[in-house]
Structure 1
Amino acid sequence: MATRSTVRERYSFANLDEPLELPDLIAIQRESFQWFLEEGLANTFRDISPIKDFSEALQLELEFDPFDEDLRPPPKFSVEECKEKDMTYSAPIFVRARFMNRNTGEIKEQTVFMGDLPAMTDKGTFIINGTERVVVSQLVRSPGVIFEPGERYRLRNLTKHQLVKGTIHPYRGEWMEFDVEHRPGKDVTCGTRVARKRRLGIFTLLRALGYDEANAPGFLDRFVSEFDFLEGQW
């Protein structure tokens, strides 16, 4: 017959009698989302407003006040109701849209529904279709230009060619990579990749940006004279 194990007494030799208070581990998530609601959304609407047509005769302004309950009302349902009914815990977002016609002087104002924005619970989670989910923070590379010199090997015959690569990390948008390659027995080439897609020639990108003979006479010639190793590619 098994006997119950006796409880051992444990002695503490720590300097502190009480354990340290546990910090708020989800404060970063809550503060970040609160900043997004109170400042981030308004900054985004200010960045894209006003929206004009090509002739600038028509103009659309979007105004958003995060502290106006008419534009940012509270969620319609509670967290418990969303879990029980498999709904998303969210709140509607509205903006005041002002349409102006400079030719006629006509101005129209209207409150426009932009969509339902998921709301964060007190525990720092989101309720999506009745399921509680959490957003995991990750490190994001800072905007700037990074250069990476090195060598690369071809898999078929293991021949080596030099590679110098520079990557532009913008604050917004896709990454853009520039590389200079020198394969054995071939001329030096310079190419670019946008969003890590297929490699394009550097001159194809420059022409697409408008640096051709029609829009910028002599630019490509000066570019090649500065980087003479691209003369074969040009």
Structure 2
Amino acid sequence: TLLRKLAANYEHVEIDPSPIRIKIMGIIDDYRNKFVEARTDRNRSFDRAGSGEDLDAGIVKSVKVYIAEKKKLSVGDKMAGRHGNKGVISRIVAEEDMPFLPDGTPVDIVLNPLGVPSRMNVGQVLETHLGWACKHLGMHAATPIFDGISEQQIRDMLTEAGLPDDGKTVLYDGRTGDRFEQRVVVGTIYMLKLHHLVSEKIHARAVGPYSLVTQQPLGGKAQYGGQRFGEMEVWALEAYGAAHALQEILTVKSDDIAGRTRMYEAIVKGTNVLDSGCPESFNVLIKELQGLGLNFQVKNEDGESIL
């Protein structure tokens, strides 16, 4: 063949490399250097981790002490189950005031059933049923997600344990001793205490820093911020018809700059007068609309532009 003839006549044949091959080799060389740098950085990090932290000059030994503190649950602390069913404790009552089972056993936690339908985390209900059956059968259950126990198997286990297959039982009011009208889902579940304690979150503000853009108080305990009064809170006050409370919350207590000053003067002089003006958030809205190319003007009764 032609190749064999070439090989017999020429010991070495040079072929010009194609532009694509040159480009590929350049990319490989670039990444080879980057791989070497990454490996060097990784080895340096490992060496640093093995040798301990770098101490400042003149320090021979550094000692860290961690103190564990036990904190009892209190109203406002946050807890959660295994299904995203988080919530805060609304009330802690005496054991004898809790609802109790027909055999006199009081329940430990009462959860609001409204926490299930909208969030659609029905797993917490199934966990309650399965936990109740397992407790009576004296066994543990491990059910991995997507490959766990079926609803029918839970019903069968409840029946085997001599319990109602719908997982509900009669409960009695601990305060009156009267039986509840409807049977209630009762069982055993895992509940976790979260690191959101009301004692660490409680915060109040008199006068403090304001946002430069909206002129509203900053948020959060760290910024010495105000309490956020959101849409839903406004709806609640609207439902009560608390017009004056709403007016001062949305103006002089928030982003009405001139009104804030007048309110301070009124407090100093001892006159109980609420003279609110235009919130700064309205001006921000106007500027945003103008930024969209909309000619937005605010006029008074005489047709004169006021903003």
Q: Mark yes or no: TM-score above 0.5.
A: no
Q: How high is the TM-score relative to the length of structure 1?
A: 0.29
Bigger share in strand = 1
Q: How high is the TM-score relative to the length of structure 2?
A: 0.24
Higher relative contact order, structure no. (Cα contacts within 8 Å, ≥ 6 residues apart): 2
Bigger share in helix = 2
